[in-house]
Amino acid sequence: MNAPVRLLVVDDHTLFRRGLTALLASQPHLQVAGEAADAGEALRRATELQPDVILLDHHLPGVNGADALQALRQAAPAARVLMLTVSEDADTLSRALRNGAHGYLLKTVDSDMLVQAIDRAMRDHATISPEMTDKLVSAFQTLQVPPSPPVAPEPPDDPLAALSPREREILREIAAGASNKEIARTLGIAETTVKIHVQHILRKLKLSSRVQAAVMAAGLGDGR
């Protein structure tokens, strides 16, 4: 038989913590190895017990759960941390996930979903309470807004003027969707030569991909 999943329950409300412990103890494959009522005690217990999963409340005395998460993961590197809290705050959610939480569950979660979340965490899969899904999307959209692109300089009257006749030929083939191999066959040159010309074209036109080159050529009427 597989060894039971060893849990550390961290919550400052004694009644909730003990009720949760009793609930989890009813699951044959789960074992509550320890409890803690604050972040400091949680760190000591995590270091001592090296649990498989830590169930962590956010609202703890002193240091809150989301901010204690990184220290807990250092104390027990193999442990997965599941936030189990009443907090529906998007910032708390995003901080917890950034700090390495394997899931974020509200205390309104039913027992089956909690057990499933623990099992999923053991497989390195995350679980987020459905009520937090929209907030998760909003939080990460806010975090990952890309910087504004730099303003491009005004292009010269003929952006293709710097290209040689051979490079213009190759650009027309690129705009027509031809691969390097097809271009080489059409122009009767080696494929490696085509690759070199393509690199020169991109450098001269200050582009990063052949798709951009094709679009520019089509827009200037040089791809027809």
What is the three-state SS of 118-181? Answer: HHHHHCCCCEECHHHHHHHHHHHHHHCCCCCCCCCCCCCCCHHHHCCHHHHHHHHHHHCCCCHH
| Rg (the chain; Cα; Å) | 29
Give phi and psi for 168, each to the nearest 5.
Answer: -65, -40
Report residue 111 as tokens.
Answer: 């027992």
Do the domains at 5-143 and 159-219 have one common CATH topology?
Answer: no
What is the domain partition of the chain in residue ranges? 5-143, 159-219
The structure's pTM equals 0.60
Across the chain, the runs of DSSP E, i.e. the strands, are: 5-10, 30-36, 53-56, 80-85, 103-106, 127-128
pLDDT-above-90 percentage for the chain: 42
User: Domain 5-143 has what CATH class?
Assistant: alpha beta
Which position has the higher pLDDT, 220 or 69? 69
Half-sphere exposure of 140 toward its Cβ, with a 13 Å CA cutoff? 9
Which position has the higher pLDDT, 211 or 200? 200
Per-residue pLDDT, 224: 41
How far is 2 from 191, CA to CA, in rounded Å?
A: 57
* Residue 146 binned pLDDT confidence (cut-offs 50, 70, 90): low
* CATH fold of 159-219: Arc Repressor Mutant, subunit A (1.10.10)
Per-residue pLDDT, 31: 95
Please, which residues have CB within 8 angstroms of residue 176's CB and are 6 or more apart in sequence? 223
